[in-house]
Amino acid sequence: MKTDRLHKKLAGILTIMTVLIGLGRNTSSAQVLVYEDFVPPMENLYTKERFFYAQLHTAGFTIGYEQGRLNSRFNYHGWNIEFATQISHQAKGVNWYGTGRRYKYGMLNSFCILRAGYGGLWILNDKPYWGGVQVSVSYRGGFSLGLAFPQYVNVLYDTAGQDIRLERLDPDNPRHKDISYILERGPVLKGLSGMRPYPGIYAKIGMNFEFGRSQERSHTLGIGVIYDCYFTRIPIMMEKKNPFGFLNFYIEYKFGKRYGLR
């Protein structure tokens, strides 16, 4: 009898220990799952994005507009249009002359660029849920339309200063090669009548750093390089070999809005 009672007590103790161990394991597992699987709630995701941007580059400035679509990881694909000024690196080293409206000696044309392209982002790391910075590689390419505006100057043709003619700068005119005969630059709008288009292509690659906590608003700083290539040489300077294209480094700021909830 004593043996049976002892066996019953031991069985009861073992049963209680088994139950306690099981509860302890379940509690530990539940705690692990809570800590391992807990993900802070994300804000609503969007499918589209549009923004404006301003850019300073090594030969002028750029302003543009971009619009595209986002996928679930905020990778982006879209199109853009932009306007850019372009001062030739050859002209940047030339001094200004003239007693009135100053001009660059030997610069045949002013030059600006219209671009239309398509590209996207390659995300290197996502922005944390609490904010921070998202780093990505941007790539873009498309059509580049260069616009050359001829430079007009007021040229002196007599010593008394009575015969002054407004003429388009001409490398074959000997007076246009002598700064003593050129008084000043002509009106800027005069060059519109002689505007000439130069079609080409462009490619752009850079690094983007998007900051801020909100998913709806986009604020991004970018750095990179852009190259415009044309099918003929661009006549910028009078006595220098003119280029087929322009290579520029840039820094830009983008601001925009995401919309279209998933």
- pTM of the shown model: 0.74
Report how far apart, in Å, the C-alpha atoms of 55 and of each of 205, 213, 224, 225, 242 are.
14, 24, 11, 11, 25
For 2, the 3-state DSSP assignment is helix
String of DSSP letters for 182-249: EEEE--GGGGGGG-EEEEEEEEEEEEEEEE-S-SSEEEEEEEEEEEEEESS----BSSSPPPSEEEEE
Q: With pLDDT > 70 as the criterion, what percentage of the chain qualifies?
A: 74
Q: What is the pLDDT of residue 33?
A: 43
Q: What are phi and psi of 4, to 5 degrees?
A: -65, -45
Nearest Cα neighbor of 140 from 222, 244, 230 is 222
Instruction: Tell me which DSSP letter residue 105 carries.
Output: T
Among 107-116, 157-166, 238-247, 250-259, which stretch is predicted with the lowest mean pLDDT? 157-166
Nearest Cα neighbor of 82 from 68, 64, 59 is 64
* pLDDT (tens digit per residue) in 220-246: 999 999 999 999 999 888 877 888 999
| Mean pLDDT in residue range 62-86 | 87
Among 17-31, 140-154, 230-244, which stretch is predicted with the lowest mean pLDDT? 17-31
Structural domains in the chain, sorted by start: 46-153+190-261 (2.40.160.20)
Q: What is the pLDDT of residue 98?
A: 58
* pLDDT (tens digit per residue) in 84-129: 998 866 555 445 555 667 767 778 888 999 999 999 888 888 776 6
